């Protein structure tokens, strides 16, 4: 046994290493233990905490939810969309990461007073403070998050996503990618001891709606994180400060923010979001209650809807690809509306269940054309067209529009039309 492995095993086996964690014995942190200094003054000090140039204006668009008005001139939506068309590289800056909060403002949580309860079908129910969690070995991983509604043409806010004027922010703004830091959930579960009959975990948040989500124990023990860091600093409040679940590759709703409880149970909880809001209606009238892994997907971010080319000549077609199935193995680009496909260059690094940047050199001759991209992941699944996706679900392509729903995630190829004057517009059709 290696010395490092030996030390880690001793750490996990030694229940006394985390003193005061048993239920009813969580230690309190005094208010006067907080760092000295005026936070309000520090917030306006651009030297202590930097700000971007005033010439950079890329911003999220949307509204927090049904209870907030949308910005002037923008459609009402159920969250804030990442300006993905302005992105560079593969990491989304934390201030631009998309936000979904089901209509609630993020709670104002003092990390010194916040605790996480692990209970249910465990050997030793425990309460952890943030400091307690940080005593465990941590990891940092790049992973994307994506709302199941990303790109979907269905529902009350879906029509603008298929409008000719739609931008990449409109169609694909509900995904982002960050470097997440935290403790593997499996480490914590091994510490408390998981009973054999435990088949699911139930995560619960601290916001007003107390969002809950059921996750199979196999996934919980695989790659789920209790995350407290994002892109090298603490989570932002809109991203779940001080801790959240990070469930790589799975539908965004699983990633419970402002995490306060994890209960191990025999069966899924079947809360409101699981039983009424997120199930997908099938053509036979039944519903799929659980849909987890996000399929392979790409989007060309440059050139894309709302942008304009400055005349014929050379351009690099650039975009992002990702898959909940693991690594993106290949990316193809078509500059003739899908008649021919050619391999794009994948920029490193390439991480599983994370955005990857691609590029493709293109000489535009000034004529009208349609640009498309698609990817294939490490399990061999390739991103479908709208027609292929409809065939997979055994429906007609216009089913997505007519019924206002989709049987599963909508990860169809996104086409952009380049007009002779250089303007670019959404070209998706059903």
Q: pLDDT-based confidence at 43, cuts 50/70/90?
A: low
What's phi and psi for 129, nearest 5 deg? -85, 170
Query: Which residues, other chains included, contact 124 with Cβ-Cβ below 8 Å and sequence gap of 6+?
Result: 15, 22, 192, 193
Q: CATH number of the domain at 297-426, please?
A: 2.60.40.650
Mean of all residue pLDDT scores within the chain: 88
The reported pLDDT for the residue numbered 324 is 98
The proportion of the chain whose per-residue pLDDT surpasses 70, expressed as a percent, equals 87
Nearest Cα neighbor of 235 from 221, 220, 212, 256 is: 256
Mean pLDDT of 158-167: 87
pLDDT classification of 297: cutoffs 50, 70, 90: very high
User: What pLDDT was estimated at residue 312?
Assistant: 98
What stretch of H or E contains 79? strand 79-81
The distance of Cα 403 from the centroid of its chain, to the nearest Å, equals 26
Distance, in Å, from the CA atom of 244 to the CA atom of 250, rounded to the nearest integer, reads: 15
Residues in the chain, total:
430
Average pLDDT over residues 415-422: 98
Rounded distance between C-alpha atoms, residue 139 and residue 122, angstroms? 24
CA–CA separation, 197 vs 378, rounded Å? 33
pLDDT at 30: 34
For a pLDDT cut of 90, what percent of the chain falls above it? 68
CA distance 278 to 293: 14
User: In a 3-state reduction of DSSP, which class is residue 273?
Assistant: helix
Centre a 10 Å sphere on the Cβ of residue 283 and count the other Cβ atoms it contains.
Answer: 12
Q: What is the pLDDT of residues 128-162, one digit of tens each?
A: 999 999 999 999 999 999 998 898 887 666 778 88
DSSP label at residue 252: G
Report pLDDT for 157. 66
Chain-centroid distance, C-alpha 133:
23
Q: Where are the beta strands (DSSP E) in 233-386?
A: 233-234, 244-246, 259-265, 280-281, 287-288, 297-302, 313-322, 328-334, 342-343, 345-346, 356-364, 369-377
State the pLDDT at residue 108.
96
Beta strands in 132-192 (DSSP E): 139-146, 175-184
CB 412 within 8 A of CB 151: yes
Please give the C-alpha separations between residue 388 and each of 88, 284, 385, 396, in angstroms, as whole numbers.
Answer: 30, 19, 5, 10
Q: What is the pLDDT of residues 242-279, one digit of tens each?
A: 999 999 999 999 999 999 999 999 999 887 777 776 77
How open is the CA angle 141-143-146, to the nearest 5 degrees?
160
Instruction: Please give the pLDDT value at position 357.
Output: 98
Query: Kind and range of the H or E element at 230?
Result: strand 225-230
Would you identify the CATH topology of the domain 61-288?
Sulfite Oxidase; Chain A, domain 2 (3.90.420)
**Is there a cis peptide before residue 311, judged by omega within 30 degrees of 0?**
no
**pLDDT tens digits, one per residue of 45-61:** 788 999 999 999 999 99
**CB 63 within 8 Å of CB 72:** no
Judge whether residue 17 has pLDDT over 70.
Answer: no
pLDDT at 140: 98
Predicted local distance difference test score (pLDDT) of residue 66: 63
Helix (H, G, I), strand (E, B) or coil at 353: coil
Asked if residue 298 lies in contact with residue 373, where contact means CB atoms within 8 angstroms, the answer is yes
What stretch of H or E contains 5? helix 3-13
When pLDDT is averaged across residues 293-321 and rounded to a whole number, the result is 98
Phi, psi of 369 (to 5 degrees): -160, 170
Q: Which pLDDT value is given to residue 283? A: 73
pLDDT of residue 25: 39
Domain ranges for the chain, please list them.
61-288, 297-426
* Confidence (pLDDT) at 395: 85
Smallest CA-to-CA distance from 77 within 157, 175, 173 is with: 157
Confidence of residue 328 (pLDDT cuts 50, 70, 90): very high
For the CA atoms of the chain, what is the radius of gyration?
Answer: 23
pLDDT reported for residue 58:
96
Give the least confident one: 63-77, 79-93, 356-370, 380-394. Answer: 63-77
Q: 292, 323, 138, 144: which is closest to 227 by C-alpha?
A: 138
Average pLDDT over residues 331-340: 98
Q: Are 317 and 339 in contact (CB under 8 A)?
A: no
Residue 408 CB-half CA count within 13 A? 17
pLDDT in tens, 368-399: 999 999 999 999 999 999 999 999 888 888 88
The CA-to-CA distance between both ends of the chain, in Å, stands at 59
Compute the average pLDDT of residues 9-27.
43
CB pairs under 8 A, 24+ apart, for 126-129?
A: 126/18, 126/21, 126/22, 126/23, 126/191, 126/192, 127/21, 127/22, 127/23, 127/25, 127/26, 128/18, 128/21, 128/188, 129/26, 129/27, 129/29
CB 116 within 8 A of CB 262: yes
Mean pLDDT over 172-195 rounds to 98
Evaluate whether 354 touches 403 at the Cβ level (below 8 Å). Answer: no
């Amino acid at each position: 046994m290696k010395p490092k492995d030996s030390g880690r095993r001793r750490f996990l086996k030694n229940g006394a290493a985390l003193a005061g964690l048993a239920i009813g014995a969580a230690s309190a942190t005094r208010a006067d233990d907080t760092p000295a200094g005026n936070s309000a003054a520090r917030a306006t000090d651009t030297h202590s905490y930097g700000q971007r140039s005033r010439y950079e204006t890329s911003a999220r668009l949307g509204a927090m939810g049904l209870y907030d008005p949308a910005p002037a001139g923008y459609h009402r939506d159920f969250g804030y969309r990442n300006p993905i068309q302005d992105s560079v590289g593969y990491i989304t800056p934390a201030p631009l990461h998309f936000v979904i909060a089901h209509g609630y403002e993020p709670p104002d949580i003092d990390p010194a007073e916040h605790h996480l309860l692990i209970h249910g079908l465990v050997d030793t129910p425990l309460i952890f403070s943030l400091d307690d969690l940080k005593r465990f070995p941590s990891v940092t991983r790049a992973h994307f998050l994506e709302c199941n509604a990303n790109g979907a043409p269905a529902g009350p806010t879906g029509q603008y996503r298929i409008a000719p004027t739609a931008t990449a922010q409109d169609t694909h703004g509900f995904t982002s990618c960050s470097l997440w830091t935290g403790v593997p959930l499996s480490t914590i579960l091994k510490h408390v001891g998981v009973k054999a009959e435990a088949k699911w975990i139930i995560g619960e948040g601290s916001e007003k709606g107390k969002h809950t989500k059921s996750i199979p124990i196999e996934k919980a023990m695989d790659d789920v994180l209790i995350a407290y860091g994002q892109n090298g600093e603490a989570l932002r409040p809109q991203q779940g400060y001080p801790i959240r679940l990070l469930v790589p590759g799975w539908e965004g709703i699983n990633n419970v923010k402002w995490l306060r409880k994890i209960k191990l149970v025999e069966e899924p909880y079947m809360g409101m979001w699981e039983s009424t809001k997120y199930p997908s209606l099938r053509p036979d009238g039944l519903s799929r209650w659980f849909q987890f892994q996000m399929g392979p997907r790409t989007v060309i971010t440059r050139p894309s809807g709302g942008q304009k080319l400055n005349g014929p000549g050379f351009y690099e077609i650039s975009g992002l690809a990702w898959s909940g199935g693991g690594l993106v193995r290949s990316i193809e680009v078509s500059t003739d509306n899908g008649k021919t496909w050619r391999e794009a260059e994948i920029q490193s690094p390439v991480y599983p269940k994370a955005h990857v940047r691609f590029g493709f050199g293109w000489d535009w001759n000034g004529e009208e054309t349609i640009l498309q991209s698609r990817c294939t992941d490490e399990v061999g699944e390739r991103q479908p067209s709208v027609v292929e996706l409809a065939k997979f679900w055994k429906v007609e392509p216009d089913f997505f529009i007519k019924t206002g729903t989709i049987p599963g995630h909508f990860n169809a190829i996104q086409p952009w039309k380049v007009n002779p004057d250089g303007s670019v517009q959404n070209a998706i059709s059903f």
